[in-house]
Structure 1
């Protein structure tokens, strides 16, 4: 029997009858969260574009840049678990706003960098400021969507990465060319300043717009709240929910998740932080041209992320939906290494790599959230993301070091391909019954 809500959405126990309700929730929160992530990711990786001018202006070697880019993730690692625990206690609205405002301010301060030490310190502090944002959003989505609806939703949220690439790369290139030497500042300085402003503004908007959970949502009727909460509570049954940090770190499943995520993040940040450099190495001139060509792989990634995410939810199969994109990414990196001097083939290879590695992240999070909930999810998701994101330090640093050592990008690309194979093998080590939900 169906009970009609004030919106006319059927709210019986049949899951299909709730599609309209979940669509309402989706359109209320997901566009805003995706906008937040676009801005977050742009401020996180625009240093890759700044490198095209910044390294020459400040005399940075490839290793110096790689180390600085990676130090973001050390700060991120140190504060991620505490940040997620605090968000679980104080509420998503205030905590996400705090994160965005502080990272926006720090992003703008990059315009004043004059040497490697300042670069290192600011990248570390930016990591501290942004720590908890991504796992916090993943946790936040568990408050609204049950496991079997979450892969598609996370894929939409994670589309912020390629959207940031599609919009941000040409924008960054244009700013660096158009504002170069304006007001006595270099183009990269203007880029950091201009791209930091939206984070602060959206941070303020977060306080006014987001709700902490289903119960606090004034835009839902009582019947809708009850229906959603029943789904969330039912989804949590049988999952780990009360274990503290000590129990989480002793859980072998969590460490397996860390290995999988570490492997995939190696590919993700190897791609996003070095994309402008890889495109430039094919012979492309001009920052705007580099930005436009760099946007193509991210466009391919959006299509792959959403198609594969929908398929994973429809089939309720996670492992192979994760392994196949990872192997695609590996093939793409090998192609980019073999044809580094051919712009067309390199862009095609990088498109395959982007479609693969950027699809892995949203699909990955359907694995740990299939067996963690509540406080255990807050700690577990943050722990997995923290350890996994150490790859964000290792990947750019190793690529920079290997480039200084070998004077080419190929060795770094091969290394990323190997890591994606490792992640694929680890994914297949998970039990289907544990994650296929």
Structure 2
């Protein structure tokens, strides 16, 4: 019996059970809602582009791709400073500030009138959103002991695919209100998705609590257990013998292999997120089928509901068995084969079915991927490595938008850019096998264990 299994078999005290239940019901849904709004605002351009924005602003496919990807330049530049500010001012205030900031910038898209203005606002949106995702992960990690983080943060991560499941039909419904307030449908959509960020951000300022000791909704026994447990973990992390300097971690070959593995997954994620609505919009010319804007929104959502289920079940299996190499390499290989194949399908139904397999592959792998760094890094070195990996992922987000658009303009088809996606996901699969061979993955930390080291720094 593994150490983890033994720990899971220990009976939880009433205070422990009630504390975790309250956190699951009070904090996780609200932070997941924040993430839902975050990803919807980030990808709203994908719904606006093929539904009037590209035509109104005179955007070519490559210009649309650049507008999609330029977001990540601002995000990358401000990610580390934003995380440092979060430590200084507290997660509650800083996450609320981030939400209100990006909500205001997103609102300005309603009145954008030029290509240059679109580029500027996408860049500013990246600056405004910088630090939200790692900040949210860190915030939740500081609230629960390591053995509960897999459950808590897997539920949080579900917000990403569910954003498309719910957000795509919602965006399409808003776009259908063409003429409301004298605005084009795509402008109405930007108005509708930006206001919730401002409202929820203001609520977050008063709703969230930085530390369990400050939570009025925990009783004395729950606070005593939770604070004591988190303090013990902090001491254990500081005493860990597996130390590596920050500089050594940043130059470590294994860390850079993880960077490249993550690059392949994130490239695929954003290539789909930004261009799937446009691909679906092209079904009429390709297959002679006609869909309303709302029907296109529903079709866009189809791949992401199975992806959410795959994320949950695959992560649950990895938690039960311990994360193995194949929990990451197999989805990468499946995505590498499926996404180029999707462009060769002979009907909209077959295309969407194969794209669904790709979406399931990407989302099944991502939560399990984040269990890897802390298998050989701790302390400041792990924090630096996680930041580096996440930054490389954001570079992939920029590259996916720009390169996909450029290749579509050059070749006249999405077949070639989707082959690039397949090649990069194949790279992720090969590197993951190589990494697993070099150091066998027997038993991984939970999803957010990469973040537990941050609370001790």
Fold match, TM over 0.5? yes
- Structure 2 unaligned blocks of 5 or more: 1-6, 285-289, 446-457
SS at match of 1:191: helix
1:238–1:169: structure 2 CA closer, same or farther, 3 Å change rule? same
Map of 1:142 onto structure 2: 141
The Cα of 1:291 is off from its aligned counterpart by: 0.3
In 1, Cα distance between equivalents of 2:420 and 2:102: 31
Deviates more, 1:90-99 or 1:43-52: 90-99
In 2, Cα distance between equivalents of 1:434 and 1:132: 31
Native 8 Å contact 2:53 2:186 kept in 1: yes
In 1, Cα distance between equivalents of 2:227 and 2:195: 39
Q: Deviations over 1:97-147 (max 9, x none)?
A: 111110010001111222211111111111111111111222233323455
1:239–1:191: structure 2 CA closer, same or farther, 3 Å change rule? farther
Map of 2:129 onto structure 1: 130
Native 8 Å contact 1:370 1:434 kept in 2: no
1:310–1:231: structure 2 CA closer, same or farther, 3 Å change rule? farther
Confirm or deny that 1:291 pairs with 2:297. yes
159, 184, 187: which one aligns with 1:186: 184
1:143–1:97: structure 2 CA closer, same or farther, 3 Å change rule? same
1:78–1:112: structure 2 CA closer, same or farther, 3 Å change rule? same
Native 8 Å contact 2:257 2:431 kept in 1: yes
Map of 2:104 onto structure 1: 105
Map of 1:263 onto structure 2: 264
Map of 1:238 onto structure 2: 240
In 1, Cα distance between equivalents of 2:46 and 2:365: 21
Map of 2:408 onto structure 1: 403
364, 386, 389: which one aligns with 2:394: 389
Confirm or deny that 1:331 pairs with 2:337. yes
SS at match of 1:390: helix
Map of 2:66 onto structure 1: 67
Native 8 Å contact 2:34 2:197 kept in 1: yes
In 2, Cα distance between equivalents of 1:112 and 1:39: 20
The Cα of 1:248 is off from its aligned counterpart by: 4.2
Native 8 Å contact 1:139 1:377 kept in 2: no
In 1, Cα distance between equivalents of 2:242 and 2:394: 23
The Cα of 1:302 is off from its aligned counterpart by: 0.8
Native 8 Å contact 1:74 1:393 kept in 2: yes
Native 8 Å contact 1:371 1:435 kept in 2: no
Native 8 Å contact 1:144 1:232 kept in 2: no
In 2, Cα distance between equivalents of 1:249 and 1:350: 35
The Cα of 1:373 is off from its aligned counterpart by: 5.3
SS at match of 2:27: helix
Map of 2:430 onto structure 1: 425
1:232–1:275: structure 2 CA closer, same or farther, 3 Å change rule? farther
Native 8 Å contact 1:84 1:379 kept in 2: no
RMSD: 2.4
In 2, Cα distance between equivalents of 1:370 and 1:227: 25
The Cα of 1:280 is off from its aligned counterpart by: 1.8
1:320–1:152: structure 2 CA closer, same or farther, 3 Å change rule? farther
The Cα of 1:295 is off from its aligned counterpart by: 1.0
38, 48, 51: which one aligns with 1:50: 48
Confirm or deny that 1:95 pairs with 2:94. yes
The Cα of 1:216 is off from its aligned counterpart by: 3.4
1:305–1:49: structure 2 CA closer, same or farther, 3 Å change rule? same
SS at match of 2:70: helix
1:116–1:147: structure 2 CA closer, same or farther, 3 Å change rule? same
Native 8 Å contact 1:305 1:355 kept in 2: yes
1:235–1:390: structure 2 CA closer, same or farther, 3 Å change rule? farther
In 2, Cα distance between equivalents of 1:241 and 1:95: 30
Confirm or deny that 1:22 pairs with 2:20. yes
- Report matched runs for 1:210-229 at 5 Å: 210-220=208-218, 221-229=222-230
Native 8 Å contact 1:367 1:435 kept in 2: no
Map of 1:176 onto structure 2: 175
Native 8 Å contact 1:371 1:434 kept in 2: no
TM-score by length of 1: 0.90
**Residue-pair matches, total:** 423
In 1, Cα distance between equivalents of 2:319 and 2:230: 20
In 1, Cα distance between equivalents of 2:241 and 2:144: 15
Map of 2:164 onto structure 1: 165
In 2, Cα distance between equivalents of 1:386 and 1:101: 23
TM-score by length of 2: 0.86
Q: Deviations over 1:14-63 (max 9, x none)?
A: 65526734344322321111111110000000100000110011110000
The Cα of 1:434 is off from its aligned counterpart by: 8.3
